[in-house]
Amino acid sequence: MPYAYPLLAIFIWAGNTVVNKLAVGVIFPAEIGFYRWLLAGVLFTPFMLKPVITHWPTVRANLGKIVVLGVLGMAVYQSLAYFAATLTTATNMGIILSLMPLMSLAMAIASLGQRLTAGALAGAALSFAGVLVVVSSGSLSVLLQHGVNLGDGMMLVATLAYAIYNTLLKKWQLRLPPLVLLYLQVLVAVVVQFPLFWYSAKAGLSLQNIPLVLYACLLASMLAPLAWMQAVIRLGPSRTTLFFNLLPLMTALIAAVVLREQLTGYHLVGGVLTLGGVILSERWTTVLGRKVRAA
């Protein structure tokens, strides 16, 4: 059943947002971020050394691009998410992250020559309104007075970093097997995050935080990307991307059950607006500025 692959990936990533929140007070953000990628690198290495050696000429020619992708998609995005979790709710994080497809679409229009559609314009306005509702806790006057919560702001930057990552991935079209590219980005994340890990406070590994590290590594860093790749192969990239729209809903449901987070009216309104904007941008494909020829 091909639909099981994207659903599994989204379920794991939604759960990982909750894991980010569970890690607060149990393990420091820099620790779990570093241990996650270090363990993934160790587990991948025995299987990936030969493919990397086989594709080394291509790897060497694109080493700078691979480093940029690893920094944006693995190090910056996930590190900011761990720090954001100390200051905002998992539900907020899931709703903000749902902006990623729309951000990627906007960047594709700006840098990849993709035509601007009516749906992209209307969807951007609708999703922006939805995120405003969430980050303002349903009160724009509070937002104007106090500004955006630092955790929500971090999550917005993290989502932007991941959208840039996706755009560059499409633009560069590196001729490497997906698993090889994933492994190399994991290695980049280990190297980039080591200084932050070295100089940050440490709680150390314990019975409380080891399950969180294992979830982040084995499920979110390894199994979910593999499931997503299989989904792209079996369903195609466009149909697979639609499943990303389920992320805020799954995150909110898991957070309500596991963390006992309260789902408020502004979460519902903001989530519906944000999700509606993303769906609108994908479905309403009328190109703006296209001239109508006379019969």
User: What's residue 290's pLDDT?
Assistant: 55
The pLDDT of residue 272 is 81
pLDDT reported for residue 292: 43
Backbone angles phi, psi at 113, to 5 degrees: 80, 10
* pLDDT value of position 140: 67
Give the pLDDT of residue 188.
Answer: 96
293 falls within a domain:
no
CA distances from 82 to 42, 46, 131, 161, 204 (A): 22, 28, 20, 14, 16
pTM for the model:
0.81
Number of folded domains that form the chain? 1
Using only C-alpha atoms, the chain has a radius of gyration, in whole angstroms, of 20
Whether 181 is in a domain gets the answer: yes
Q: Which helix (H) or strand (E) holds 287?
A: none
In a domain, 290, yes or no: no
142 within some domain: yes
Residues 6+ apart with CB under 8 A from 104: 163, 166, 167
Structural domain including 146 reads 4-283
289 in any annotated domain = no
Q: Report helix, strand or coil for 15.
A: helix
The reply to whether 295 falls in a domain is no
Cross-strand bridge partners of residue 287: 117
> E-assigned strands of 180-250?
none
HSE toward the beta carbon, residue 157, CA cutoff 13 A: 15
Mean pLDDT per 10-residue interval, the chain, length 295 residues? 86 92 92 94 94 94 94 90 88 80 77 74 78 72 67 90 86 88 94 93 91 94 88 74 76 86 77 77 71 45
